[in-house]
Structure 1
Protein backbone atom coordinates (compact mmCIF):
# COMPACT_ATOMS: atom_id res chain seq x y z
CA UNK A 1 0.00 0.00 0.00
CA UNK A 2 2.86 2.37 0.78
CA UNK A 3 4.40 1.73 -2.62
CA UNK A 4 1.03 2.26 -4.32
CA UNK A 5 0.56 5.60 -2.54
CA UNK A 6 4.07 6.69 -3.50
CA UNK A 7 3.44 5.79 -7.13
CA UNK A 8 0.18 7.72 -7.09
CA UNK A 9 1.89 10.79 -5.63
CA UNK A 10 4.64 10.68 -8.24
CA UNK A 11 2.04 10.32 -10.99
CA UNK A 12 -0.18 13.19 -9.83
CA UNK A 13 2.83 15.43 -9.23
CA UNK A 14 4.10 14.77 -12.74
CA UNK A 15 0.67 15.60 -14.15
CA UNK A 16 0.22 18.94 -12.42
CA UNK A 17 3.81 19.97 -13.19
CA UNK A 18 3.25 19.11 -16.85
CA UNK A 19 -0.04 21.02 -16.93
CA UNK A 20 1.70 23.94 -15.23
CA UNK A 21 4.31 23.95 -17.99
CA UNK A 22 1.50 23.87 -20.56
CA UNK A 23 -0.02 26.91 -18.84
CA UNK A 24 3.27 28.79 -19.28
CA UNK A 25 3.32 27.82 -22.96
CA UNK A 26 -0.24 29.15 -23.23
CA UNK A 27 0.97 32.62 -22.23
CA UNK A 28 3.76 32.42 -24.81
CA UNK A 29 1.54 31.11 -27.59
CA UNK A 30 -1.32 33.58 -27.23
CA UNK A 31 0.60 36.70 -26.21
CA UNK A 32 1.28 38.00 -29.76
CA UNK A 33 -2.31 37.55 -31.00
CA UNK A 34 -4.36 38.23 -27.88
CA UNK A 35 -2.73 38.88 -24.50
CA UNK A 36 -0.59 41.80 -25.68
CA UNK A 37 -3.76 43.77 -26.42
CA UNK A 38 -4.76 43.82 -22.75
CA UNK A 39 -6.68 45.74 -21.43
CA UNK A 40 -8.32 47.37 -24.50
CA UNK A 41 -8.40 44.21 -26.68
CA UNK A 42 -9.23 46.29 -29.75
CA UNK A 43 -10.61 44.17 -32.59
CA UNK A 44 -11.87 41.36 -30.38
CA UNK A 45 -15.48 40.62 -29.44
CA UNK A 46 -17.18 38.85 -26.56
CA UNK A 47 -16.83 35.43 -28.18
CA UNK A 48 -13.04 35.75 -28.16
CA UNK A 49 -13.03 36.83 -24.52
CA UNK A 50 -15.44 34.17 -23.27
CA UNK A 51 -13.75 31.40 -25.23
CA UNK A 52 -10.30 32.50 -24.07
CA UNK A 53 -11.34 32.81 -20.42
CA UNK A 54 -13.00 29.40 -20.44
CA UNK A 55 -10.01 27.66 -22.03
CA UNK A 56 -7.65 29.28 -19.51
CA UNK A 57 -9.94 28.23 -16.66
CA UNK A 58 -9.88 24.66 -17.97
CA UNK A 59 -6.10 24.56 -18.07
CA UNK A 60 -5.96 26.04 -14.57
CA UNK A 61 -8.29 23.27 -13.45
CA UNK A 62 -6.03 20.66 -15.05
CA UNK A 63 -3.19 22.07 -12.96
CA UNK A 64 -5.14 22.36 -9.71
CA UNK A 65 -6.98 19.02 -9.72
CA UNK A 66 -3.95 16.68 -9.65
CA UNK A 67 -2.28 19.09 -7.21
CA UNK A 68 -5.24 18.69 -4.83
CA UNK A 69 -5.12 14.91 -5.19
CA UNK A 70 -1.36 14.93 -4.60
CA UNK A 71 -1.90 16.78 -1.32
CA UNK A 72 -4.96 14.80 -0.25
CA UNK A 73 -7.48 17.65 -0.71
CA UNK A 74 -10.21 15.34 -1.97
CA UNK A 75 -13.16 17.49 -0.90
CA UNK A 76 -11.86 20.49 -2.85
CA UNK A 77 -11.09 18.20 -5.79
CA UNK A 78 -14.70 16.96 -5.88
CA UNK A 79 -16.05 20.51 -5.63
CA UNK A 80 -14.02 21.70 -8.61
CA UNK A 81 -15.04 18.55 -10.45
CA UNK A 82 -18.69 19.49 -10.00
CA UNK A 83 -17.98 23.00 -11.26
CA UNK A 84 -16.67 21.40 -14.45
CA UNK A 85 -20.20 20.13 -15.12
CA UNK A 86 -20.94 23.74 -16.04
CA UNK A 87 -17.55 24.77 -17.38
CA UNK A 88 -17.10 21.92 -19.88
CA UNK A 89 -20.44 22.44 -21.71
CA UNK A 90 -19.72 26.18 -21.84
CA UNK A 91 -16.31 25.46 -23.36
CA UNK A 92 -17.95 23.24 -25.97
CA UNK A 93 -20.48 25.97 -26.81
CA UNK A 94 -17.75 28.62 -26.97
CA UNK A 95 -15.76 26.42 -29.36
CA UNK A 96 -18.80 26.10 -31.63
CA UNK A 97 -19.42 29.85 -31.54
CA UNK A 98 -15.77 30.59 -32.28
CA UNK A 99 -15.87 28.11 -35.17
CA UNK A 100 -19.06 29.68 -36.53
CA UNK A 101 -17.55 33.15 -36.35
CA UNK A 102 -14.37 31.97 -38.07
CA UNK A 103 -16.40 30.28 -40.81
CA UNK A 104 -18.61 33.30 -41.47
CA UNK A 105 -15.64 35.68 -41.62
CA UNK A 106 -13.87 33.57 -44.25
CA UNK A 107 -16.61 32.06 -46.43
CA UNK A 108 -17.15 33.96 -49.71
CA UNK A 109 -13.96 35.93 -48.99
CA UNK A 110 -11.37 33.26 -49.75
CA UNK A 111 -11.59 30.13 -51.93
CA UNK A 112 -13.90 27.59 -50.30
CA UNK A 113 -11.21 24.91 -50.37
CA UNK A 114 -9.23 27.12 -48.00
CA UNK A 115 -12.28 27.66 -45.81
CA UNK A 116 -12.69 23.89 -45.52
CA UNK A 117 -8.96 23.57 -44.83
CA UNK A 118 -9.24 26.00 -41.91
CA UNK A 119 -12.26 24.19 -40.51
CA UNK A 120 -10.61 20.75 -40.65
CA UNK A 121 -9.52 21.27 -37.05
CA UNK A 122 -12.19 23.71 -35.89
CA UNK A 123 -15.06 21.34 -36.66
CA UNK A 124 -13.50 18.32 -34.96
CA UNK A 125 -11.85 19.87 -31.90
CA UNK A 126 -15.07 20.61 -29.93
CA UNK A 127 -16.27 17.05 -30.49
CA UNK A 128 -12.97 15.58 -29.30
CA UNK A 129 -12.99 17.75 -26.19
CA UNK A 130 -16.57 16.80 -25.31
CA UNK A 131 -15.87 13.13 -26.05
CA UNK A 132 -12.91 12.94 -23.66
CA UNK A 133 -14.70 14.93 -20.97
CA UNK A 134 -17.80 12.73 -21.21
CA UNK A 135 -15.67 9.61 -20.81
CA UNK A 136 -13.93 11.20 -17.81
CA UNK A 137 -17.27 11.90 -16.12
CA UNK A 138 -18.69 8.47 -16.95
CA UNK A 139 -15.62 6.98 -15.24
CA UNK A 140 -15.35 9.59 -12.48
CA UNK A 141 -15.36 6.87 -9.80
CA UNK A 142 -12.57 4.99 -11.55
CA UNK A 143 -9.55 7.21 -10.84
CA UNK A 144 -7.31 5.39 -13.32
CA UNK A 145 -9.64 5.93 -16.30
CA UNK A 146 -10.90 9.34 -15.16
CA UNK A 147 -7.37 10.70 -14.93
CA UNK A 148 -6.43 9.54 -18.41
CA UNK A 149 -9.52 10.89 -20.12
CA UNK A 150 -9.05 14.26 -18.42
CA UNK A 151 -5.48 14.27 -19.70
CA UNK A 152 -7.04 13.60 -23.11
CA UNK A 153 -8.79 16.99 -22.97
CA UNK A 154 -5.41 18.69 -22.62
CA UNK A 155 -4.37 17.58 -26.11
CA UNK A 156 -6.92 20.02 -27.52
CA UNK A 157 -5.06 22.82 -25.75
CA UNK A 158 -1.65 21.45 -26.71
CA UNK A 159 -2.47 21.62 -30.43
CA UNK A 160 -3.71 25.21 -30.20
CA UNK A 161 -0.77 26.39 -28.10
CA UNK A 162 2.04 24.77 -30.09
CA UNK A 163 0.54 25.84 -33.43
CA UNK A 164 0.41 29.47 -32.22
CA UNK A 165 4.03 29.34 -31.07
CA UNK A 166 5.14 27.96 -34.44
CA UNK A 167 3.12 30.57 -36.35
CA UNK A 168 4.78 33.38 -34.39
CA UNK A 169 8.24 31.87 -34.71
CA UNK A 170 8.32 31.29 -38.48
CA UNK A 171 7.14 33.00 -41.65
CA UNK A 172 3.77 31.72 -42.88
CA UNK A 173 5.17 30.56 -46.23
CA UNK A 174 7.84 28.46 -44.50
CA UNK A 175 5.82 26.85 -41.70
CA UNK A 176 2.45 26.04 -43.33
CA UNK A 177 1.00 23.41 -42.96
CA UNK A 178 3.56 22.18 -40.43
CA UNK A 179 2.25 24.64 -37.86
CA UNK A 180 -0.60 22.16 -37.49
CA UNK A 181 1.07 18.90 -38.45
CA UNK A 182 3.76 19.29 -35.78
CA UNK A 183 1.40 19.80 -32.80
CA UNK A 184 -0.98 17.12 -34.08
CA UNK A 185 1.77 14.53 -34.39
CA UNK A 186 3.34 15.71 -31.14
CA UNK A 187 0.07 15.01 -29.34
CA UNK A 188 -0.21 11.61 -31.02
CA UNK A 189 3.39 10.77 -30.05
CA UNK A 190 2.83 11.72 -26.41
CA UNK A 191 -0.39 9.72 -26.25
CA UNK A 192 1.34 6.71 -27.83
CA UNK A 193 4.17 6.92 -25.30
CA UNK A 194 1.66 7.09 -22.44
CA UNK A 195 -0.11 4.06 -23.90
CA UNK A 196 3.19 2.18 -24.18
CA UNK A 197 3.97 3.08 -20.56
CA UNK A 198 0.67 1.60 -19.40
CA UNK A 199 1.42 -1.55 -21.40
CA UNK A 200 4.84 -1.88 -19.80
CA UNK A 201 3.33 -1.40 -16.35
CA UNK A 202 0.65 -3.99 -17.23
CA UNK A 203 -2.06 -1.38 -16.66
CA UNK A 204 -5.39 -1.20 -18.48
CA UNK A 205 -4.49 0.05 -21.99
CA UNK A 206 -8.05 0.95 -23.00
CA UNK A 207 -8.12 4.65 -21.93
CA UNK A 208 -4.98 5.72 -23.75
CA UNK A 209 -5.87 3.48 -26.69
CA UNK A 210 -9.11 5.43 -27.07
CA UNK A 211 -7.27 8.73 -26.69
CA UNK A 212 -4.62 7.72 -29.24
CA UNK A 213 -7.14 6.48 -31.81
CA UNK A 214 -9.16 9.68 -31.43
CA UNK A 215 -6.08 11.85 -31.97
CA UNK A 216 -5.17 9.72 -34.99
CA UNK A 217 -8.67 10.30 -36.38
CA UNK A 218 -8.13 14.04 -35.99
CA UNK A 219 -4.94 13.78 -38.04
CA UNK A 220 -6.71 11.78 -40.75
CA UNK A 221 -9.33 14.53 -41.03
CA UNK A 222 -6.61 17.13 -41.38
CA UNK A 223 -4.93 15.11 -44.13
CA UNK A 224 -8.32 14.91 -45.88
CA UNK A 225 -8.92 18.68 -45.68
CA UNK A 226 -8.77 19.19 -49.46
CA UNK A 227 -10.85 16.16 -50.45
CA UNK A 228 -14.26 16.59 -52.09
CA UNK A 229 -15.89 14.67 -49.24
CA UNK A 230 -14.57 17.04 -46.59
CA UNK A 231 -15.38 20.10 -48.70
CA UNK A 232 -18.96 18.87 -49.07
CA UNK A 233 -19.25 18.15 -45.36
CA UNK A 234 -18.04 21.63 -44.40
CA UNK A 235 -20.40 23.26 -46.89
CA UNK A 236 -23.32 21.22 -45.55
CA UNK A 237 -22.58 22.18 -41.93
CA UNK A 238 -22.05 25.80 -42.91
CA UNK A 239 -25.32 26.00 -44.84
CA UNK A 240 -27.45 24.14 -42.30
CA UNK A 241 -26.03 25.30 -38.96
CA UNK A 242 -24.14 28.54 -39.57
Structure 2
Protein backbone atom coordinates (compact mmCIF):
# COMPACT_ATOMS: atom_id res chain seq x y z
CA UNK A 1 0.00 0.00 0.00
CA UNK A 2 1.52 3.29 -1.14
CA UNK A 3 -1.26 5.60 0.06
CA UNK A 4 -0.78 7.70 -3.07
CA UNK A 5 -4.34 9.05 -2.91
CA UNK A 6 -4.13 10.21 0.71
CA UNK A 7 -3.87 13.86 -0.34
CA UNK A 8 -7.29 13.77 -1.97
CA UNK A 9 -8.84 12.31 1.19
CA UNK A 10 -7.29 15.11 3.23
CA UNK A 11 -8.62 17.63 0.72
CA UNK A 12 -12.08 16.32 1.55
CA UNK A 13 -11.18 16.57 5.23
CA UNK A 14 -10.15 20.20 4.73
CA UNK A 15 -13.58 20.89 3.27
CA UNK A 16 -15.15 19.07 6.22
CA UNK A 17 -13.12 21.33 8.53
CA UNK A 18 -14.72 24.44 7.05
CA UNK A 19 -18.17 22.83 7.31
CA UNK A 20 -17.69 21.81 10.93
CA UNK A 21 -16.28 25.12 12.08
CA UNK A 22 -18.54 27.26 9.90
CA UNK A 23 -21.32 27.89 12.48
CA UNK A 24 -18.98 28.58 15.40
CA UNK A 25 -16.06 30.30 13.66
CA UNK A 26 -15.97 31.10 9.95
CA UNK A 27 -19.55 32.40 9.68
CA UNK A 28 -18.84 34.90 12.45
CA UNK A 29 -16.61 36.90 10.11
CA UNK A 30 -19.55 37.46 7.78
CA UNK A 31 -22.23 38.41 10.29
CA UNK A 32 -19.95 40.72 12.31
CA UNK A 33 -19.97 38.65 15.49
CA UNK A 34 -16.38 37.40 15.35
CA UNK A 35 -14.92 38.11 18.79
CA UNK A 36 -12.11 35.59 18.85
CA UNK A 37 -8.75 36.50 20.31
CA UNK A 38 -5.37 36.17 18.65
CA UNK A 39 -4.71 32.76 20.20
CA UNK A 40 -7.71 31.25 18.47
CA UNK A 41 -6.72 32.76 15.12
CA UNK A 42 -3.13 31.61 15.58
CA UNK A 43 -4.21 28.05 16.23
CA UNK A 44 -6.68 28.04 13.33
CA UNK A 45 -4.02 29.23 10.91
CA UNK A 46 -1.41 26.68 11.98
CA UNK A 47 -3.94 23.81 11.89
CA UNK A 48 -5.10 24.77 8.40
CA UNK A 49 -1.49 24.97 7.21
CA UNK A 50 -0.86 21.48 8.59
CA UNK A 51 -3.90 20.00 6.80
CA UNK A 52 -2.85 21.82 3.61
CA UNK A 53 0.55 20.17 3.88
CA UNK A 54 -1.10 16.78 4.30
CA UNK A 55 -2.99 17.46 1.07
CA UNK A 56 0.04 18.63 -0.88
CA UNK A 57 2.68 16.08 0.14
CA UNK A 58 1.09 12.87 -1.23
CA UNK A 59 0.14 14.68 -4.43
CA UNK A 60 3.76 15.75 -4.90
CA UNK A 61 4.90 12.16 -4.48
CA UNK A 62 2.27 10.97 -6.95
CA UNK A 63 3.50 13.62 -9.39
CA UNK A 64 7.11 12.48 -8.80
CA UNK A 65 8.14 15.92 -7.58
CA UNK A 66 10.39 14.46 -4.92
CA UNK A 67 12.62 17.50 -4.34
CA UNK A 68 9.65 19.76 -3.76
CA UNK A 69 8.19 17.11 -1.43
CA UNK A 70 11.40 17.19 0.60
CA UNK A 71 11.39 20.98 0.71
CA UNK A 72 7.81 21.10 1.99
CA UNK A 73 8.69 18.35 4.46
CA UNK A 74 11.48 20.48 5.90
CA UNK A 75 8.93 23.23 6.47
CA UNK A 76 7.15 20.83 8.86
CA UNK A 77 10.12 21.07 11.22
CA UNK A 78 9.12 24.70 11.73
CA UNK A 79 5.35 24.29 11.47
CA UNK A 80 4.95 21.45 13.96
CA UNK A 81 6.56 23.24 16.95
CA UNK A 82 4.50 26.32 16.11
CA UNK A 83 1.34 24.17 16.02
CA UNK A 84 2.19 22.76 19.44
CA UNK A 85 2.72 26.28 20.79
CA UNK A 86 -0.62 27.38 19.35
CA UNK A 87 -2.42 24.52 21.13
CA UNK A 88 -0.69 25.29 24.43
CA UNK A 89 -1.44 29.02 24.23
CA UNK A 90 -5.09 28.47 23.35
CA UNK A 91 -5.55 25.98 26.18
CA UNK A 92 -3.80 28.26 28.66
CA UNK A 93 -6.01 31.14 27.58
CA UNK A 94 -9.37 29.34 27.52
CA UNK A 95 -9.28 27.01 30.53
CA UNK A 96 -10.52 28.60 33.75
CA UNK A 97 -7.99 28.02 36.57
CA UNK A 98 -10.82 28.46 39.08
CA UNK A 99 -12.41 25.15 38.08
CA UNK A 100 -12.45 22.51 40.79
CA UNK A 101 -10.69 20.06 38.49
CA UNK A 102 -8.69 21.30 35.51
CA UNK A 103 -7.04 17.99 34.62
CA UNK A 104 -9.85 16.76 32.32
CA UNK A 105 -10.01 20.13 30.58
CA UNK A 106 -6.27 20.17 29.87
CA UNK A 107 -6.36 16.55 28.71
CA UNK A 108 -8.76 17.38 25.85
CA UNK A 109 -6.22 19.38 23.77
CA UNK A 110 -3.14 17.56 25.07
CA UNK A 111 -4.42 14.12 24.06
CA UNK A 112 -4.50 15.27 20.44
CA UNK A 113 -0.85 16.27 20.77
CA UNK A 114 -0.06 12.73 21.96
CA UNK A 115 -1.53 11.24 18.76
CA UNK A 116 0.14 13.94 16.68
CA UNK A 117 3.51 13.31 18.31
CA UNK A 118 3.19 9.56 17.79
CA UNK A 119 2.44 9.90 14.09
CA UNK A 120 4.89 12.66 13.32
CA UNK A 121 7.60 10.99 15.38
CA UNK A 122 7.18 7.77 13.41
CA UNK A 123 7.16 9.68 10.12
CA UNK A 124 10.37 11.55 10.90
CA UNK A 125 12.17 8.57 12.43
CA UNK A 126 11.41 6.48 9.34
CA UNK A 127 11.59 9.23 6.74
CA UNK A 128 13.74 7.04 4.50
CA UNK A 129 11.20 4.20 4.57
CA UNK A 130 8.22 5.37 2.54
CA UNK A 131 5.76 2.67 3.74
CA UNK A 132 6.34 3.55 7.40
CA UNK A 133 6.75 7.30 6.79
CA UNK A 134 3.41 7.49 4.97
CA UNK A 135 1.62 5.63 7.74
CA UNK A 136 3.12 7.93 10.35
CA UNK A 137 1.88 11.01 8.53
CA UNK A 138 -1.60 9.50 8.27
CA UNK A 139 -1.67 8.97 12.04
CA UNK A 140 -0.43 12.52 12.63
CA UNK A 141 -3.25 13.80 10.45
CA UNK A 142 -5.79 11.72 12.35
CA UNK A 143 -5.11 13.83 15.44
CA UNK A 144 -7.29 16.49 13.82
CA UNK A 145 -10.21 14.24 12.94
CA UNK A 146 -11.84 14.24 16.38
CA UNK A 147 -11.87 18.06 16.83
CA UNK A 148 -13.34 18.50 13.35
CA UNK A 149 -15.90 15.69 13.57
CA UNK A 150 -16.97 16.87 17.02
CA UNK A 151 -17.82 20.26 15.50
CA UNK A 152 -19.70 18.54 12.68
CA UNK A 153 -21.73 16.53 15.18
CA UNK A 154 -22.38 19.41 17.59
CA UNK A 155 -22.68 22.39 15.24
CA UNK A 156 -23.96 20.96 11.96
CA UNK A 157 -25.84 17.73 12.73
CA UNK A 158 -26.82 18.99 16.21
CA UNK A 159 -26.02 15.65 17.86
CA UNK A 160 -25.11 16.75 21.36
CA UNK A 161 -23.63 15.24 24.50
CA UNK A 162 -22.10 11.80 24.77
CA UNK A 163 -23.84 10.57 21.63
CA UNK A 164 -22.26 13.33 19.58
CA UNK A 165 -18.83 12.73 21.08
CA UNK A 166 -18.97 8.96 20.53
CA UNK A 167 -20.10 9.55 16.96
CA UNK A 168 -17.15 11.88 16.40
CA UNK A 169 -14.46 9.57 17.77
CA UNK A 170 -15.97 6.55 16.01
CA UNK A 171 -14.66 8.00 12.75
CA UNK A 172 -11.08 7.49 13.97
CA UNK A 173 -11.76 3.87 14.88
CA UNK A 174 -13.55 3.08 11.64
CA UNK A 175 -10.63 4.47 9.63
CA UNK A 176 -8.02 2.60 11.66
CA UNK A 177 -9.88 -0.73 11.59
CA UNK A 178 -10.44 -0.47 7.83
CA UNK A 179 -6.75 0.34 7.26
CA UNK A 180 -5.64 -2.55 9.48
CA UNK A 181 -7.86 -4.96 7.54
CA UNK A 182 -6.75 -3.64 4.14
CA UNK A 183 -3.07 -3.97 4.92
CA UNK A 184 -3.24 -7.29 6.78
CA UNK A 185 -0.98 -8.91 4.16
CA UNK A 186 1.58 -6.10 4.09
CA UNK A 187 5.10 -6.98 5.22
CA UNK A 188 6.43 -3.53 6.12
CA UNK A 189 4.97 -0.92 8.46
CA UNK A 190 1.97 -3.01 9.45
CA UNK A 191 2.60 -2.21 13.14
CA UNK A 192 1.88 1.52 12.83
CA UNK A 193 -1.93 1.47 12.70
CA UNK A 194 -2.37 -1.12 15.52
CA UNK A 195 -0.10 1.06 17.68
CA UNK A 196 -2.21 4.10 16.81
CA UNK A 197 -5.39 2.16 17.62
CA UNK A 198 -4.05 1.20 21.05
CA UNK A 199 -3.09 4.83 21.69
CA UNK A 200 -6.54 6.08 20.70
CA UNK A 201 -8.16 3.54 23.01
CA UNK A 202 -6.00 4.76 25.88
CA UNK A 203 -6.61 8.48 25.42
CA UNK A 204 -10.36 8.03 24.97
CA UNK A 205 -10.58 5.71 27.99
CA UNK A 206 -9.16 8.58 30.05
CA UNK A 207 -11.89 10.87 28.73
CA UNK A 208 -14.85 8.49 28.93
CA UNK A 209 -14.02 7.04 32.34
CA UNK A 210 -13.03 10.47 33.68
CA UNK A 211 -9.61 9.32 34.81
CA UNK A 212 -7.74 12.19 36.45
CA UNK A 213 -4.74 11.01 38.49
CA UNK A 214 -3.25 13.36 41.04
CA UNK A 215 -0.03 13.91 39.10
CA UNK A 216 -1.99 15.01 36.03
CA UNK A 217 -4.25 17.34 38.01
CA UNK A 218 -1.16 18.92 39.58
CA UNK A 219 0.48 19.39 36.20
CA UNK A 220 -2.70 20.76 34.66
CA UNK A 221 -3.21 23.28 37.48
CA UNK A 222 0.40 24.40 37.14
CA UNK A 223 -0.06 24.76 33.38
CA UNK A 224 -3.27 26.82 33.45
CA UNK A 225 -1.80 29.21 36.03
CA UNK A 226 1.28 29.94 33.93
CA UNK A 227 1.27 33.58 32.75
CA UNK A 228 1.46 32.62 29.07
CA UNK A 229 -1.53 34.58 27.77
Map 1:70-149 → 2, pairs under 5 A:
70-104=62-96, 107-108=97-98, 112=100, 115-149=102-136
| Preserved contact between residue 47 and residue 98 of structure 1 (Cα < 8 Å) | yes
Q: Give me the whole-angstrom Cα distance separating, in 2, the residues matched to 1:170 and 1:209.
A: 30
How many aligned positions are there?
223
Instruction: Go from structure 1 to structure 2 and tell me whether the alpha carbon gap of 1:167 and 1:233 turns closer, same or farther (over 3 Å shift).
Output: farther
Residues 33-68 of structure 1 deviation map (CA, whole Å, 9 limit, x = unaligned): 111122767321111111000000000000000000
Instruction: Go from structure 1 to structure 2 and tell me whether the alpha carbon gap of 1:41 and 1:63 turns closer, same or farther (over 3 Å shift).
Output: farther
Which structure's relative contact order is higher, taking Cα pairs within 8 Å and 6+ residues apart?
Answer: 2
Instruction: Go from structure 1 to structure 2 and tell me whether the alpha carbon gap of 1:170 and 1:197 turns closer, same or farther (over 3 Å shift).
Output: closer
TM-score normalised over the length of structure 2: 0.88
In the TM superposition, residue 203 of structure 1 has moved relative to its aligned partner by: 4.4
Q: Give me the whole-angstrom Cα distance separating, in 1, the residues matched to 2:186 and 2:120.
A: 25
In the TM superposition, residue 238 of structure 1 has moved relative to its aligned partner by: 2.9
In the TM superposition, residue 116 of structure 1 has moved relative to its aligned partner by: 4.5
SS of the counterpart of 2:46? helix
Q: Give me the whole-angstrom Cα distance separating, in 1, the residues matched to 2:24 and 2:40.
A: 11
Map 1:157-196 → 2, pairs under 5 A:
157-171=144-158, 175-196=160-181
Which segments of 5 or more consecutive residues in structure 1 lack a partner in the other structure?
Answer: 1-6
In the TM superposition, residue 199 of structure 1 has moved relative to its aligned partner by: 1.1
SS of the counterpart of 2:4? helix
Paired residue for 1:4? none
Q: Give me the whole-angstrom Cα distance separating, in 2, the residues matched to 1:178 and 1:232.
A: 28
Instruction: Go from structure 1 to structure 2 and tell me whether the alpha carbon gap of 1:54 and 1:216 turns closer, same or farther (over 3 Å shift).
Output: same
Residues 6-57 of structure 1 deviation map (CA, whole Å, 9 limit, x = unaligned): x74xx312x1111111011011011111111227673211111110000000
Which segments of 5 or more consecutive residues in structure 2 lack a partner in the other structure?
Answer: 225-229
In the TM superposition, residue 137 of structure 1 has moved relative to its aligned partner by: 0.7
| Preserved contact between residue 162 and residue 183 of structure 1 (Cα < 8 Å) | yes
In the TM superposition, residue 234 of structure 1 has moved relative to its aligned partner by: 4.8
Q: Give me the whole-angstrom Cα distance separating, in 2, the residues matched to 1:135 and 1:99.
A: 26
Q: Give me the whole-angstrom Cα distance separating, in 2, the residues matched to 1:201 and 1:94.
A: 37
Q: CA RMSD in A?
A: 2.1
Paired residue for 2:221? 239
Q: Give me the whole-angstrom Cα distance separating, in 1, the residues matched to 2:74 and 2:187.
A: 31
